[in-house]
Amino acid sequence: MAVNGASARVLRSRAKEFLSFRQHPIKIIKYTTRYLWLLLLSLAKYLIASHFDIKGWIEANWFDLVILSAIFGFAFIRWITVYFELGSDRIITHTGFLGMTRTVVFFEEIASVSLCQGPVSFMLRNCTVYIDTDAKCVQSTDIRIDLTKSKAMEIYHTISCKSKTRTAYVYKANKKQLLIFSLLFSSAVSGAIVLLTILYQAYRITDDEFNKRLIDTVNDQMHIIEGSGIWMYFLAAGLAIALIFVASFVSNLLRHWDLTCKRGEDFLRVRSGKGARRHHLLRRKYMNYLDFTQSFFMRMFNICSVEVSCTGYGKRRKEISAIIPITTSKDAVMSARMLVPEYTLCRPQIKTSRACIPGFIILPVLSALVPIAAGIVMQRFFPWRRTQIIFIEIMTALPLIWLTIVKVEAAVSTSFGFSGNSVTLSYCRWYTFHRIALKKERITKIAVRQNPFARLFGTCTVIFYTTGEKTRRHLVGGVNYKRTMKLLKDNGYDLIGKAKDNT
């Protein structure tokens, strides 16, 4: 009996060890084909139709059942063959078809680690682990495995153990501030308002038009058509869009709720989320730059959020690479200084001025004039569609007029400057204002561009290319050409120096 007990214990411990290096069992379901439920539905339908006559059901559907078993069998084999090994200095994963792909990642080479959970994963205590290195040739994630929460946390702690020894500074997002600022300045909310306005106007125009035409043409059948009401569709679409926006806003808010960012010796540890917590580790030496982003309204009220460009962070669906969510600009600058002291904001050395406004707004103004002019012409040809044309005209011109206003602000706030090893770029890209803090060695290319008009006015556009998974261009436009070239030359970027002709 004692021998049997001992062997059972050995078997149990072996099974435990075997399972501890495998993915979460839910992965078996994920490995099956996505549209398997269509086959399951059809099988269930036949089973109900045959009044649960199992024998007859098996005889009639044996081929479908064999296919189903094969799919589950293959998924199970895949789950068995995909596993990972955790060493003291590295993680080795066996992934891909039957675990044929072996990936070795040393902890020292890791740029970022992300532990992500959705609502379903949270209930099943399942967690997806993403590990990214700074290998620029790999655009997708280096390692992606689905594990139990406890095992995922074990990997997380093993990788971050060095950083845990000295936590220098902890940033905690103010929840009330986050909620209020998100409500006031979220682009999702403003987008929803614009879309709902469009739909409401469309519904009003359609309804009026419909009534007029009904009265004019089909007076006798009014009671039939009245019930069909096309305006109802616009109303339903409006409600659906409002609901989707609210759901998206709430889920986005929950994802960044209670965000904390801890500065460790070599990693930044970012945690966020209500219920399903997300954990991220960002290696500080692999961070490309800090981005203080603002919309026009946020700029008016001195509000901003701080995002970080680091391989693997913020590239997943519905993820933002924020380390400091929406807060006051003063707070953001202070917190960024404490979290990542190696990134400093420098004083602008070259700035645009009010004289640059025409250059900045000429394109948006011309673009805004196109729909207005087109609307005026259309009104002459189709006077009976005047209301609809004016509505479309306003709706098309509005974003471009808004862009013109944003560009006026951009014309007086674009700048860049160097200070030792640090570079700060302030520019506006479409509707968003960016203030980039980066180190000189992260610049991979600088281009100075001049068109004939810029040559005439002595201005130019400086394009900074920085390291990263994707090409990211920072366009600082409308700056003085001569002063720009001098500043770049003083900082080691001599763009028009002398050379020995070798043609």
Partner 1 sequence: MTEVKRYRACKRTVFWFFVVAFGLEAGFKYALHAISGFVAQNVLIIIDMAWAAIMMTAVTVFPIYILVARYDVSTTKVRLRKGFFIISDQFVPTSSVMSVTTVMTPLSFITGFNFVVLNSAGAKSILPFVTRRQAREISDTVSKAIKQRLDNSGGKRLWQ
- Minimum CB separation of residue 111 from partner 1 in Å reads 11
Q: Least Å distance between CB 333 and partner 1? A: 24
d(CA 312, CA 321): 9
| List of residues 6+ apart from 312 with CB closer than 8 A | 111, 112, 113, 114, 130, 131, 132, 141
Binding site for partner 1 (CB under 8 A): 136, 285, 288, 439, 441-452, 455, 465-472, 488, 493-503
Residue number with CB closer to partner 1 (55 or 500): 500
Taking the least distance from each CB to partner 1, the nearer of 195 and 485 is 485
Can you read off the two tokens belonging to residue 422? Answer: 């640090």
Q: Which is nearer to partner 1, 118 or 314 (CB)?
A: 314
- In the chain, the amino acid numbered 151 is K
Q: Is 298 helix (H, G, I), strand (E, B) or coil?
A: helix
What minimum distance in Å lies between the beta carbon of 469 and partner 1?
Answer: 8
Smallest distance from the beta carbon of 474 to partner 1, in angstroms? 11
**Under 8 Å between Cβ of 94 and 84:** yes
User: Could you tell me where the DSSP H helices lie in 218-309?
Assistant: 222-228, 231-255, 296-300
In angstroms, give the least distance from the CB of 500 to partner 1. 6
**Cβ of residue 358: shortest distance to partner 1, in angstroms?**
19
Task: For the CB of residue 424, give the shortest distance to partner 1 in the complex, in Å.
Answer: 18
- Taking the least distance from each CB to partner 1, the nearer of 30 and 483 is 483
- Cβ closest to partner 1, residue 3 vs residue 496: 496
Residue 9 or 445: the one with the smaller Cβ distance to partner 1 is: 445
Distance CA 85, CA 80 (A): 14
Tell me the one-letter amino acid at 111.
A
Q: How far is the CB of 437 from partner 1 (least distance, A)?
A: 15
Cα separation, 196 vs 330, whole angstroms: 34
Taking the least distance from each CB to partner 1, the nearer of 136 and 166 is 136
Beta carbon of residue 336, minimum distance to partner 1 (angstroms, whole number): 19
Of 115 and 425, the one with the shorter C-beta distance to partner 1 is 425
The encoded tokens of residue 490 equal: 């003083």
The answer to whether the CB of 244 falls within 8 A of the CB of 233 is: no
CA 209 remoteness from chain centre: 42
Count CA atoms closer than 13 A to 177's CA, side-chain side.
16
- On whether the CB atoms of residues 111 and 310 are closer than 8 A, the answer is yes
Per-residue CA distances from 178 to 15, 429, 431 (Å): 46, 24, 21
Query: Which lies closer to partner 1 via its Cβ, residue 196 or residue 448?
Result: 448
Nearest to 416 by CA among 315, 319, 487, 364: 487
- Smallest gap from Cβ 39 to partner 1, in A, equals 46
Compare residues 383 and 452 and give the one whose CB is closer to partner 1. 452
CB count, 10 Å around CB of 430? 8
The DSSP H or E segment spanning 189 is helix 187-217
What's the angle, vertex CA 206, arms to CA 201 and CA 210, rounded to 5?
155
Exposure string of 313-349, with b = 16+ CB inside 10 Å and e = fewer, is bbbeeebebbbbbbbebebbbebbeebbeebbbbebb
Residues 6+ apart with CB under 8 A from 253: 178, 179, 182
